[in-house]
Amino acid sequence: MSEINYFWDEIEDNVVREYDDSNNTLAQYTTEPTLYGSVLSQDRGGKKRCFQFDGQGNTTELTDGSGTLTDMRRYSAFGETTASSGDTATPFGFGGRWGYHSNRSESHATIRRRILPLANGRWASPDPKERVDRSESWYVYAANRPLDRTDPSGLIAVGDECDNAEKRWPRKDGLACQPSSDVGIQHPGPCKMLIVIGHNYPKQYKQLQAWLTEAIVPHDCTGCGHWFGAVACCSRHLHNQFPEAAIIPGLAGTTKFIGCNEMVDRVMATMQHVDALAKRLCENRMRFVDSGCPGNYSCGADFAFCTSVEIQVKCDASAFELFHGNECPPPEDSPPNTKGSPYSGGKDLSPLRELCASNKTKRWSLTTCPRPT
């Protein structure tokens, strides 16, 4: 059997395509445009199937385009297949909604940063991040509560976070934050995300770096931040100069030079991502406090929540020229009066023109999160 290769969406952190060594597509997946986006359907060999999930996020049924049931699966709490019918091949079974990727024999699931053997329901490797709470084994999956918790990142269990109504979030100085008066718990209040866009590497690099440095304003209580990120050539190298908790969750960046067409695609995809993230942060506010429990605050998309989310954008002159002039700027070392090449990606740039003002910060959106009752 030939080797299977995977195309990974860096922004959504999902597998979206399988292909062989000759670059022939074996399967194509449609997912929701969000971090760990829910897989909606697959097309394998011309056979399209839609995914149906249970409350745990497991794929329990597959249906064809007419809604007819083609496959059925049932699982144990930790993911072993206990019953099945149908012959549709798919890696998204146990935890399929969250992008858990099972091998062909369904003996284990690859969950981004770690592998979970399904026979024993424990991680095959220890928790790779530094833990504050060391009372729990570093190999435990979903706090041994797989029916109401998941771990799509492979780093932290999410789900029913309200275990202890007396918990308070730790401050960065080690003290405890007290409940706020409006919802009965401490929260970071208004949140902001800043996206800086540049397209003239390496000239733009120092400018973007300066903008990001100015954006680091952590909350006194949580020590997390207002988040920021860059859409630019080699943006991952730029992100690596700052604390991981300060980077917009799920914004992976790139390590390569990118052309104008890819720049436009990445900016559009990034705006979709941050819009979805803003919605998720508001949903977190409702989810964590509906029972009056404070949860255990942590930076990132899984636990963070806000009273409002403001998304801001700042473009350098070269990005402004691209979006407003439909022209890719010439390389920095070009002779004087060298003209750029016209943009040829075929996308409507009018939303990006509204988004981008040269060297000025513009508001993309402001979302007021519903107040819990």
Please indicate, yes or no, if residue 46 is contained in any of the structural domains.
Answer: yes
Q: Are 24 and 31 in contact (CB under 8 A)?
A: no
Q: Which two tokens stand for residue 75?
A: 């699982």
Please indicate, yes or no, if residue 176 is contained in any of the structural domains.
Answer: no
Statement: residue 290 has pLDDT above 50: no
Render pLDDT for 77-120 as a digit per residue (tens, 0 to 9): 999 999 999 999 999 999 999 899 998 888 999 998 899 999 98
Please indicate, yes or no, if residue 183 is contained in any of the structural domains.
Answer: no
Statement: residue 48 has pLDDT above 90: yes
Tell me the pLDDT band of 28, cut-offs 50, 70 and 90: very high
Write a three-state SS string for the chain: CCCCEEEEECCCCEEEEEECCCCCEEEEEEECCCCCCCEEEEEECCEEEEEEECCCCCEEEEECCCCCEEEEEEECCCCCEEEEECCCCCCCCCCHHHCCEECCCCCEEEECCEEEECCCCECCCCCCCCCCCCCCCCCECHHHCCCCEECCCCCCCEECCCCCCCCCCECCCCCECCCCCCCCCCCCCEEEEEEEECCCCCHHHHHHHHHHHHHCCCCCCCCCCCEEEEECCCHHHHHCCCCHHHECCCCCCCCCCCCHHHHHHHHHHHHHHHHHHHHHHHHHHHHHHCCCCCCCCCCCCCCCCCCEEEEEEEECHHHHHHHHHCEECCCCCCCCCCCCEECCCCCCCHHHHHHCEECEEEEEEEEECCCCC
> Considering only 59-63, 163-167, 196-200, 252-256, which range has the smallest mean pLDDT?
163-167
Please indicate, yes or no, if residue 90 is contained in any of the structural domains.
Answer: yes
Range of the domain at 85: 5-117
Please indicate, yes or no, if residue 170 is contained in any of the structural domains.
Answer: no
Q: Are 303 and 296 in contact (CB under 8 A)?
A: yes
Q: Are 222 and 169 in contact (CB under 8 A)?
A: yes
Statement: residue 153 has pLDDT above 60: yes
**107 and 202 housed in the same domain:** no
> For the chain, how long is the longest CA-to-CA vector?
70
Domain finish residue from 92, 117, 142: 117
Q: Are 359 and 317 in contact (CB under 8 A)?
A: yes
**237 and 110 housed in the same domain:** no
Exposure of 200 by Cβ count < 10 A (0-12 exposed, 13-18 middle, 19+ buried)?
Answer: buried
Domain finish residue from 117, 151, 181: 117
Statement: residue 5 has pLDDT above 50: yes
**207 and 329 housed in the same domain:** yes
pLDDT at 59: 95
**100 and 196 housed in the same domain:** no
Please indicate, yes or no, if residue 25 is contained in any of the structural domains.
Answer: yes
**200 and 323 housed in the same domain:** yes
**90 and 230 housed in the same domain:** no
**112 and 200 housed in the same domain:** no
Average pLDDT, rounded, for the chain: 76
Domain finish residue from 94, 117, 140: 117
Q: Are 110 and 93 in contact (CB under 8 A)?
A: no
Please indicate, yes or no, if residue 259 is contained in any of the structural domains.
Answer: yes
Phi, psi of 229 (to 5 degrees): -170, 165
Please indicate, yes or no, if residue 357 is contained in any of the structural domains.
Answer: yes
**103 and 220 housed in the same domain:** no
**343 and 199 housed in the same domain:** yes
For the chain, how many structural domains are there in total?
A: 2
pLDDT at 170: 39
**234 and 101 housed in the same domain:** no
In the chain, pLDDT over 70 holds for what percent of residues? 73
**109 and 196 housed in the same domain:** no
Number of neighbouring beta carbons within 10 Å of residue 82: 8
Per-residue pLDDT averaged across 36-41, rounded? Answer: 84
In the chain, pLDDT over 90 holds for what percent of residues? 21
